[in-house]
Amino acid sequence: MSGNRSGVLELAVLGLLHETPLHGYELRKRLNGLLGAFRAFGYGSLYPCLKELLAQGLIAEDTPADTGQAGPARHTGLAGQSRYSGLSGQARPRSGRRSKIVYRLTADGKERLQDLLAEAGPAAWEDDGFGVHFAFFGQTRADIRLRILEGRRTRLEERLDGVRAVMSRTRERLDSYTLELHRHGLESVEREVRWLNELIASERESGAASPPPSARNADNDTSAGQDPS
């Protein structure tokens, strides 16, 4: 089966494109802005990902005619119908010549994004996955947010237990550097647990009125509408 891209990148790309259509280069900058401290992607990761999302029909190339502006989508160029098919023979048979390729979410892509955002399992608790999911909490249902935060906390607490067990079991064998590493690691994890506790508390507080379990699901306009402001 072809690469079932289910990693961090897919969610990040779909999430960003849900906000506004973008071309690859700009997308990468926003990506690294969004993920900031904890993850960075290069073009060598991004473009193959876009290629495959395109192949799966989750995103589409935006033809110059239909997006008026959408931020940096200025294809002022139109520049000389130069050679677009150099070495690899495959000419890009799209209509207007443009130097940028602007991608937008398709209806399928929006659906897929919703699925990913509704995912509250392991993929959303692990280090990387959690970061991206958290970054898109603004688009995530309140009950899912809570489940993810709690799942993450549980995950970290298991990790704490494991480390503490090791530390007491093998106390005398560890040299001082290893010990210091564990001490610091433990402290970091404990700190993140406290952070999660605060977030959970504030989620519970602000979401006290909203019903968690109801099958609320109301956003899929299949129509193209990338609203042109």
- Smallest gap, in angstroms, from Cβ of residue 148 to its own copies? 11
CB 109 within 8 A of CB 17: yes
Does 192 help bind DNA (rule: CB under 7 A)? no
Q: Which residues of 162-174 are buried (b: 16+ CB within 10 A; e: fewer)?
A: eeeeeeeeeeeee
Does 6 help bind DNA (rule: CB under 7 A)? yes
Please choose which of DNA, its own copies, none residue 78 contacts, taking the beta carbon within 5 to 8 angstroms, the exact cut-off set by kind: DNA
Instruction: Compute CA distances 194 → 110, 119, 153, 182, 200, whole Å.
Output: 34, 23, 9, 18, 10
**φ and ψ at residue 100, rounded to 5 degrees:** -110, 150
Binding segment (CB under 7 A) for DNA, from list 36-44, 138-146, 174-182, 215-223: 36-44
Does 91 help bind DNA (rule: CB under 7 A)? no
Residue among 47, 63, 118, 134 that touches DNA (CB under 7 A):
47
The whole-angstrom separation of Cα 145 and Cα 119 is 10
DSSP structure class, residue 7: S
Classified as helix, coil or strand, 104 is strand
Please choose which of DNA, its own copies, none residue 211 contacts, taking the beta carbon within 5 to 8 angstroms, the exact cut-off set by kind: none
Which two three-digit tokens encode residue 55? 């192949």
Nearer to its own copies, 34 or 118 (CB): 34
The whole-angstrom separation of Cα 191 and Cα 196 is 9
- Smallest gap, in angstroms, from Cβ of residue 130 to its own copies? 10
- Smallest gap, in angstroms, from Cβ of residue 222 to DNA? 23
Binding to its own copies by CB under 8 A, coded x per residue (else -) over 90-129, reads ----------------------------------------
- Smallest gap, in angstroms, from Cβ of residue 57 to its own copies? 28
Nearest to 117 by CA among 90, 153, 83, 141: 141
Tell me which amino acid residue 82 is.
Answer: S
Helix, strand, coil distribution of the chain in percent, nearest 5: 55, 5, 40
Binding residues (CB under 7 A) for DNA: these are 1, 3-10, 23-26, 40-45, 47-51, 72, 74-80, 82-83, 86-88, 92, 99-101, 128
Binding residues (CB under 8 A) for its own copies: these are 32-34, 36-38, 87-88, 131, 134-138, 159-160, 162-163, 166-167, 169-170, 175-178, 180-182, 184-186, 188-189, 191-192, 195, 199
